[in-house]
Amino acid sequence: MPPPPFVDGKSPGTISITVPSDLKLFATQNYRSLEDGLVYKHTTFQVDRGTLLNSSQYFLSKLEQPLNGRKTIVEIGCHSITALEIILRKLHNTLDQKAVGDASLADVWCLIFDCRQFRICPKNLTQWFDAGCTHKKGQANPGMELSFYRDILLPSYAMEHATTFARAARALMYQSTEHITSWCPPDVRMPIAAPILRQLNAARATPHDTIRGSFWPRFQHASNITAILLQVYRV
């Protein structure tokens, strides 16, 4: 029998996204831990109902449900508490209050999933992603830049950030002598890793033609993350 759920005591109790606020989102993140089994993180976000109603179809549908219409506390699930905070702060124009260094690489992957769940275009977070990449690159030890590019290669593709993806792909193709790889959290399953890495490794023979023909059309024509993922499936 699996161990009982364990509540992570490190989860922050309440996070104020905006002041004043008239709604509380009780957010739950769950994940599996080898030590504790199924672990739950709970956090309450203080937000503005009107802002959420106008932000996405997800929140409009969620908050207009008969059971939630008059509630001052609404329950919500997410892939990452940190990722959800980033999204909520972006919607409320308080993202400058969140340090870019607070998000781990795993949080960035979860952010991709949460953008899909809450129907938020990842391109809306381009400025934050830029700042985060700059921060992470600044922390990289001399000679470890390729490790940084391996980390951001796939997230930048999934977030439709063509400039960062191009920079990472170029560095790995021309500066690395090893087989091109990119790290992905074991608890996050994205269907983009294998085809992207396969094409990049194959592109080393004729990089300019392959890159121009295989990748850039996706960024030119895909308007959201779903479109990019569907195109990747066809590779």
Q: Which domain holds residue 168?
A: 137-233
Query: Which CATH number do you get for residue 17?
Result: 3.30.710.10
Same domain for 11 and 110, yes or no, is yes
Query: H helices of 105-206, where?
Result: 105-117, 126-139, 145-158, 162-175, 193-203
Domain-embedded: residue 132 = no
Other C-beta atoms closer than 10 Å to the C-beta of 105 total 16
Same domain for 145 and 78, yes or no, is no
Mean pLDDT of 81-107: 91
Last residue of a domain, one of 70, 95, 120: 120
Instruction: Annotate 6-18 with b (16+ C-beta within 10 A) or e (fewer).
Output: eeeeebeeebebb
Domain-embedded: residue 32 = yes
| C-alpha to C-alpha distance for 86 and 94, rounded to whole angstroms | 9
User: Is 100 in contact with 111 (CB distance < 8 Å)?
Assistant: no
pLDDT in tens, 95-131: 999 988 888 888 888 898 899 899 998 889 988 998 9
Instruction: Annotate 54-88 with b (16+ C-beta within 10 A) or e (fewer).
Output: ebbeebeebbeeeeeeeeeebeeebbbbbbbbbbb
pLDDT in tens, 206-217: 555 455 455 545
Same domain for 86 and 52, yes or no, is yes
Domain-embedded: residue 20 = yes
Domain-embedded: residue 172 = yes
How many structural domains comprise the chain? 2
Q: What is the model's pTM?
A: 0.77
Domain-embedded: residue 168 = yes
Domain-embedded: residue 15 = yes
Which residues have C-beta within 8 Å of that of residue 161, sequence separation ≥ 6?
A: 123, 126, 129, 130
Domain-embedded: residue 68 = yes
The β-bridge relationship of strands 23-33 and 37-47 is antiparallel
Mean pLDDT of 61-79: 86
Cis previous bond, 195, omega within 30: no
Same domain for 150 and 111, yes or no, is no
Same domain for 152 and 211, yes or no, is yes
Other C-beta atoms closer than 10 Å to the C-beta of 169 total 23
CA-wise closest residue to 188 among 95, 80, 89, 97: 80
pLDDT in tens, 38-58: 677 899 999 999 999 999 999
User: Is 191 in contact with 232 (CB distance < 8 Å)?
Assistant: yes
Same domain for 77 and 105, yes or no, is yes
220 falls in which pLDDT band (50, 70, 90)? very low
Last residue of a domain, one of 68, 91, 120: 120
